């Protein structure tokens, strides 16, 4: 690893990627795709990903290339052609921006009720930089952490990065978070998320974490930080100028009696196999924090069960905890990355069967859908009908968790809303009423509609 990769961070974007040493290894088609697709979806990569993670002899099929570089197929062909004609025809900026905006809105920028049902209220005011979907867990989006060391092409948080008006979760200060938590003793977990909070320096990160350690918030037992930096810039924990300060901050959270959980996004074992990536794991765990591994199953990136088994086995050996295999969400370029649920279940099972019991802490495949995290528990035949066996790992209503339910087997279904109840039922158990084309679903007190005096949320089918 050369000195630049060890030391100073450098990011490349659509406008600057031509300055990278690997630019000459990209075909004209891929260069054009970066320019065209990169106007719709965020593109950012750094020298560590370019030099250490991507196998350029395997491009374009290398999984880390697919994970970070846009390709033409991420847009519908008609969209790509129309946008390319505008760009190559030197259309006015406002015309190009209008076309880009239309494509983005078609891509379902905030799925699963993130803006309509997850935003909590305090004293009659919505807290736009927070989400409270599950009773015991609050999400916080610090403004200084709303970027990443590199962007994943599949990322369901892509609206955070592209400047869509009114669609960014962004908290300027943590005082509202503290005030909200003081009034909600049922909350045991706070997830600091983004973007990536670990792009922040140690001082800014401390300004968020330290106020959570006061005695009045003793009910907050677990502080989580969601991050991709463990894979895309492990130097953050090892050689960055304030890496030691970050480690001391982690130690202070643990010393205060809280569980600090680093939610590491590892999409492929290649991200964990470098020396510095493994050093980062050991340093994190050495502070007393825990490190959990999670990622979605992504077509063109990690559909090999053997890759998942390698990831979970290596992580377990290093002390990381396999946690979730997610199903790719129905947002962004989902048409390119999604897989049938039956295929997702097969891949999960093949990987799961080959690992040690210590690695079988992993759960999945799990869909973060509107009502909650729905896990595919099996594909079985009951009373002569082939069905998906399902359960909630988390739910808007905690009474739904771990209650089995069944959906008709559909070999083409790729997301929860494509499933229908089994055994001739008209609705799943949690769908309390069917009113024409509306479903009425109970929600908890942290949701927007309850805060406004409503007791039910209506959701279009």
Q: What is the pLDDT of residues 31-60, one digit of tens each?
A: 999 999 999 999 999 999 999 999 999 999
For 183-211, what is the mean pLDDT? 95
Cis peptide leading into residue 152 (ω within 30°): no
Q: Where are the alpha helices (DSSP H) in 287-375?
A: 305-318, 334-337, 341-352
Q: Give the residue with greater pLDDT, 406 vs 147.
A: 406
Q: What is the pLDDT of residue 170?
A: 58
* Pick from 166-180, 190-204, 290-304: least confident: 166-180
d(CA 270, CA 63): 9
| Both structure tokens of 454 | 């409503």
Cis peptide leading into residue 119 (ω within 30°): no
d(CA 7, CA 11): 13
Q: Is the pLDDT of residue 183 over 90?
A: yes
Q: How far is CA 443 from CA 161, 327, 368, in A?
A: 29, 23, 16
pLDDT band per the 50, 70, 90 thresholds, residue 454 = very low
pLDDT band per the 50, 70, 90 thresholds, residue 119 = confident
Most confident of 158-172, 333-347, 444-458: 333-347
Q: Is the pLDDT of residue 2 over 80?
A: no
Q: What is the pLDDT of residue 432?
A: 62
| Residue 235 contacts residue 48 (beta carbons within 8 Å) | yes
Q: How far is CA 228 from CA 4, 264, 266, 277, 317, in A?
A: 20, 6, 7, 11, 20
Q: Is the pLDDT of residue 394 over 70?
A: yes
d(CA 73, CA 79): 10
* Pick from 99-108, 118-127, 144-153, 447-456: least confident: 447-456
Collapse the DSSP code of 308 into the 3-class scheme (helix H, G, I; strand E, B; otherwise coil) and give the result: helix
Q: Is the pLDDT of residue 392 over 60?
A: yes
Q: Is the pLDDT of residue 133 over 80?
A: yes
Q: What is the pLDDT of residues 69-99, one digit of tens each?
A: 999 999 999 999 999 999 999 999 999 999 9
Domain ranges of the chain: 3-106
Q: What is the pLDDT of residue 129?
A: 87
For 256-264, what is the mean pLDDT? 98
CA angle 364, 365, 371 (to 5 degrees): 95
For 295-302, what is the mean pLDDT? 96
Q: Is the pLDDT of residue 390 over 70?
A: yes
Q: What is the pLDDT of residue 435?
A: 40
| Residue 301 contacts residue 267 (beta carbons within 8 Å) | yes
Q: Give the residue with greater pLDDT, 428 vs 110.
A: 428
Q: Give the residue with greater pLDDT, 176 vs 306.
A: 306
Question: Helices (H), strands (E): how many in the chain?
Answer: 15, 18
Q: How far is CA 260 from CA 68, 109, 136, 156, 295, in A?
A: 28, 30, 16, 24, 19
Q: Using a pLDDT cut of 70, give the percent of the chain over it.
A: 88
Q: What is the pLDDT of residue 174?
A: 80
Q: Give the residue with greater pLDDT, 337 vs 160.
A: 337
Q: Using a pLDDT cut of 90, give the percent of the chain over it.
A: 78
- DSSP type of residue 258: P
For 166-170, what is the mean pLDDT? 58
Listed residue (302, 276, 313, 305) closest to 293, CA to CA: 313
H/E segment holding residue 262: strand 259-265
pLDDT band per the 50, 70, 90 thresholds, residue 111 = low
Q: What is the pLDDT of residue 273?
A: 97
d(CA 208, CA 321): 25
For 262-276, what is the mean pLDDT? 98
- DSSP type of residue 401: B
Is pTM beyond 0.85? Reply is: yes
Q: What is the pLDDT of residue 168?
A: 56
pLDDT band per the 50, 70, 90 thresholds, residue 162 = low
Q: Is the pLDDT of residue 442 over 60?
A: no
Q: Is the pLDDT of residue 447 over 50?
A: no
Average pLDDT of the chain, as a whole number = 89
d(CA 101, CA 229): 29
Listed residue (374, 364, 355) closest to 429, CA to CA: 374
Q: CB under 8 Å to 186, separation ≥6 — which residues?
A: 135, 136, 219
Q: What is the pLDDT of residue 438?
A: 43
Q: What is the pLDDT of residue 195?
A: 87
């Amino acid at each position: 690893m050369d000195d630049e990769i060890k030391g100073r961070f450098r990011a490349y974007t659509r406008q600057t990627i031509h300055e990278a040493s690997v630019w000459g290894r990209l075909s004209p088609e891929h260069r054009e795709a970066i320019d065209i697709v990169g106007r719709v979806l965020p593109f950012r990569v750094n020298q560590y990903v370019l030099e250490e993670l991507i196998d350029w002899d395997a491009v374009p099929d290398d999984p880390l290339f697919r994970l970070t570089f846009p390709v033409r197929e991420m847009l519908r062909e008609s969209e790509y052609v129309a946008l390319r004609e505008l760009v190559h025809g030197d259309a006015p900026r406002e015309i190009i921006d209008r076309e880009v905006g239309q494509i983005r809105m078609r891509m379902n920028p905030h799925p699963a009720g993130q803006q309509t049902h997850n935003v909590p209220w305090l004293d009659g005011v919505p807290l736009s930089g927070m989400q409270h979907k599950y009773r015991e867990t609050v999400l916080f989006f610090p403004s200084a952490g709303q970027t990443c060391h590199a962007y994943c092409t599949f990322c369901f948080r892509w609206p955070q990065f592209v400047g869509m008006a009114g669609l960014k979760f962004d908290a300027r200060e943590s005082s509202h978070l503290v005030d909200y938590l003081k009034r909600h003793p049922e909350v045991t977990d706070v997830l600091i998320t983004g973007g990536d909070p670990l792009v922040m320096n140690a001082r800014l990160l401390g300004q968020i974490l330290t106020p959570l350690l006061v005695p009045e918030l003793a009910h907050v037992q677990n502080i989580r930080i969601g991050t991709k930096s463990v894979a895309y810039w492990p130097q953050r924990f090892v050689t960055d100028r304030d890496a030691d300060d970050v480690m001391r901050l982690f130690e202070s959270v643990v010393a205060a009696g809280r569980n600090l959980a680093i939610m590491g996004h590892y999409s492929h074992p290649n991200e964990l196999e470098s020396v510095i990536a493994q050093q980062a794991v050991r340093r994190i765990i050495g502070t007393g924090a825990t490190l959990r591994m999670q990622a979605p199953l992504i077509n063109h990136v990690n559909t090999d069960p053997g890759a998942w088994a390698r990831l979970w086995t290596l992580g377990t050996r290093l002390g990381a905890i396999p946690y979730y295999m997610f199903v790719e969400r129905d947002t962004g370029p989902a048409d390119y990355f999604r897989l049938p649920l039956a295929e997702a279940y097969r891949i999960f099972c093949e990987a799961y069967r080959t690992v040690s019991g210590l690695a079988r802490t992993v759960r999945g495949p799990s869909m973060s859908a509107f009502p909650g995290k729905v896990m595919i528990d099996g594909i079985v035949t009951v009373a002569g009908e082939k069905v998906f066996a399902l359960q909630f790992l988390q739910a808007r209503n905690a009474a739904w968790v771990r209650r089995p339910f069944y959906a008709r087997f559909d070999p083409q279904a790729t997301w929860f809303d494509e499933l229908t109840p089994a055994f001739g039922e008209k609705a799943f158990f949690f769908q309390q009423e069917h009113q024409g084309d509306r479903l009425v679903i109970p929600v908890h007190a942290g949701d927007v509609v309850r805060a406004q005096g409503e007791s039910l949320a209506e959701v279009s089918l």
